[in-house]
Amino acid sequence: MSDGGLLVAYAAIGAMAVVPIYYGAHATLGRLKSSNAKKHEREQFPEYSDSEDEDEDETEAVSTKDAYMFPVYGSASLFSLYLVFKYLNPEWVNYLLSGYFALMGTGALTQVGAHIVKGVTGLKLPLYHLSLVHRGEKQFDVRFTNLHVGLAAAATALVGVYLWSKNWVISNLLGLAFSFCGLYLIRLDSFKTGMIMLAGLFLYDIFWVFGTEVMVSVAKMSDVPIKVVFPKDLFPADGALKMTMLGLGDIIVPGVFLGLCLRFDRHQFLARLGYAKDKPLPAALNGRRKGFAFPTPYFNACMAAYVAGLATTISVMHVFKAAQPALLYLSPACILSVVITALTRGELSQVLGYSEESDTSSENDTSEGNNSGTRGRPRKASDGSKSGAQPVVQHRYNLRNQPQGAGAGAGMSGGELADDEQEIVPGESALDDTPVVVSDDVSDAASTVGVKSKKKKPGPKPKGGKGKSKK
């Protein structure tokens, strides 16, 4: 084993860590919203929304509570997997895990391939939706294009080759795809959350690597793409490849923090320009809502700290010939880089006070308010008074008591609408078109619209009886 081969292996491991972090962080930069741009583009390209609007609603925000629980969930999963490998046949366990990761890997390779192709070529393809809705709530939703279908077929073939050969190159491709998808889908809501997560996983990594054999044993026994590997010698004399490896957690965990740094850099830049979501774009952006250049002091500082921490990890591992918990060096490096940069620029309070969750929630509240209109409340006229002269009238229809005679409609039974959430009003006709006034003032509503009750015609008299039929 030559030193030159080791240097190549270490450089390859470092590149496979930095590249997905860089592009994954930039992929989290969403399109800017303004008062008129989005509406205009949706009208112009209504069927090509996959290229204009990214799937930002599919991302998962990590809150402070989640950050506290990360080490707990991680420890439970890791130790459970260790027990499974120890007390069951590792070969069969790897079969099950390989099937699971093959399915997930196909989806990850498809998503990453589509992102790369659309980013390079700028393709705008028709978007298809496949949804499953129950009682007005979306249970399942898939959006795809013809490009996704073709890439899914290619990814399936590639994963099939991996399952058959366990080729380390394809394993790395799957690992990189998992890393990119994780960096894109998982987003921290604040620097406080990020620092808590890094500090907790710092202790987690130390305990499971130095305190027990669990993490190293699972990494060696598992034959699934949960790590990136590279041979220490590409052409060994005995033909047996010995690998150096880096876990995907050492890429994704610091990577989501770096993505937060990049979004904060853009936030600071836009704040200096006076950008607001309910106003037109600043003139300095030249109408660009994505892809414009801006200073990245926090991202650059944190990326440099990550590279330095990774180099320190590899150096210590090489000198002591023992596995090292990478987060032991990466977590302090990332946290200190942001704190030192903030102190140098005099922006520590802004860094600690920055939150993406509040911006998103306020935007959603505004949107819901605009969509809901004045449902359940009286509309106000332009002069600010209640529109008592023009009440909101709603019509209520009840189909439950529809007659079951010959003219009741083909195939309609009394139990077909039992699952509908409609109000059961005894004694109403099949289509009760009685207007119902929605108003806060009952007296005003009564004076404005008179509600007349419908009297039903008396039915036929019972045979042999003199009494009146019941209504």
DSSP state of 208: I
- Tell me if residue 250 is catalytic: yes
Q: Are strands 60-62 and 186-188 parallel, antiparallel or unpaired?
A: parallel
In angstroms, the first-to-last Cα distance of the chain is 99
Q: Could you give phi then psi for residue 230, rounded to 5 degrees?
A: -155, 135
- Tell me if residue 440 is catalytic: no
Evaluate whether 330 touches 254 at the Cβ level (below 8 Å): yes
Q: CB-based contacts of 1: which residues, under 8 Å, 6+ apart?
A: 232, 233, 236, 242
**Distance separating alpha carbons of residues 291 and 307, to the nearest angstrom:** 25
3-class SS letters over 130-184:
EEEEECCEEEEEEEECHHHHHHHHHHHHHHHHHHHHCCHHHHHHHHHHHHHHHHH
Residue tagged 């030193």 (tokens) = 3
Of 57, 250, 265, 440, catalytic:
250
**Residue 2 CB-density burial (10 A; 0-12 exposed, 13-18 middle, 19+ buried):** exposed
Of 50, 53, 55, 205, catalytic:
205
**Distance separating alpha carbons of residues 372 and 448, to the nearest angstrom:** 25
- Amino acid letter, residue 367: S
The catalytic residues are 205, 250
